Amino acid sequence: MSDINPYQTSQSQPSAQPSYSTRMMQIKKIEPLSAGKLLGTLYALIGLFIGGIFTLLALVGVAAGGGGGDAALGSILGGIGAIIMMPLFYGVLGFLGGLVGAFFYNIIAGMVGGISLEIEV
């Protein structure tokens, strides 16, 4: 197989190092619903992780003999409830936080400017 590049023109010379250019960009607006969905999902996953830890601790407590029959049943139900309720609770609060945060960001960015990013292309 030959070393000929079909996409390389005869005038272009391959360089040893790729050339990069940097560009400054500014985030002027964040769509509130988009931010709400993103943060709601992220916080629901965090809630699932934390709920799993609570469930694990509840099961360890029951296995260690922490209380009688009613206390054990309460621990098991509380642990199972944690793995269901925490992702819902965290997800709803993350969604609302994303909506409110993006709304206030848009107001303040309109007054003082958005976040500046330097991007390399």
**The pLDDT of residue 62:** 77
The neighbouring-strand residues paired with 26 are 116
DSSP letter (8 states) at residue 113: -
How many DSSP H helices and E strands does the chain contain? 2, 2
- pLDDT tens digit at each of 121 positions of the chain: 556 666 666 565 555 676 788 888 989 999 999 999 999 999 999 999 999 998 888 888 777 776 666 667 777 788 888 889 999 999 999 999 999 999 999 999 999 998 999 888 8
Total residues belonging to the chain: 121
- Residues 6+ positions from 39 with CB-CB distance below 8 Å: 94, 95, 97, 98, 101
**The pLDDT of residue 3:** 63
3-state helix, strand, coil in the chain (%, to 5): 65, 10, 25
**The pLDDT of residue 64:** 77
Classify 14 as helix, strand or coil: coil
| CA–CA distance, 29 with 32 (Å, rounded to integer) | 9
**The pLDDT of residue 13:** 57
